[in-house]
Amino acid sequence: MTKIAKTLFLFVTIISFLFFSGCEKSDTVSADGYYSGSLVYQGLPLFTAISFSGNKYKEVPSGGAWNQKFPCITKGTYKIKNKIISFMPEVFPVVPDCQCEIKPGVKFECLLHGDYELIQSGKNLIFQRGTGNDLHVYYLTLREPTD
């Protein structure tokens, strides 16, 4: 190889590396559909259900979720990158600064928004954020896939 060819090859390699390393890979959950399970806060489980379709999500106000989380349910878009799931609500709840009361005198901010660490395994999704008494952990299982 000539010196010019080596230099050109090196230049193209560096430019390609910079171009492809700057690309963001954004994924969605492994299967669209209706997921249900629990949201655990301070060791207390609440029923929760979320429907995923493409890059959209909506919390489902059914059963215990209606009583436990209403009017704090949201819907919007989400993205997954580097094992982080980020929720961006587009429809906000009726009550601003929504608080949920788990037991008498214990309230927590229960809107589904922002970044959560994500583990996907087969039909199961686990995502969490916070630490200690502020830890929110969602345990969800695919119940009805969307075709």
DSSP symbols for 19-76: HHHTPPP-B--SS-EEEEEEEEETTEEEEEEEEEETTEEEE---THHHHHHTT---EE
Domain ranges, ordered by start, for the chain: 33-145
pTM of the model: 0.72
As a whole number of angstroms, the distance between CA 66 and CA 72 comes to 9
CATH of 33-145, one of 3.30.160, 2.40.128, 1.10.1060, 3.20.20: 2.40.128
pLDDT per residue, tens digit, the chain (147 aa), is 576 644 444 443 444 443 443 444 447 778 899 999 988 888 888 888 899 999 999 988 755 544 556 567 788 999 999 999 999 988 766 566 677 766 666 677 778 889 999 999 989 999 999 998 888 899 999 998 876
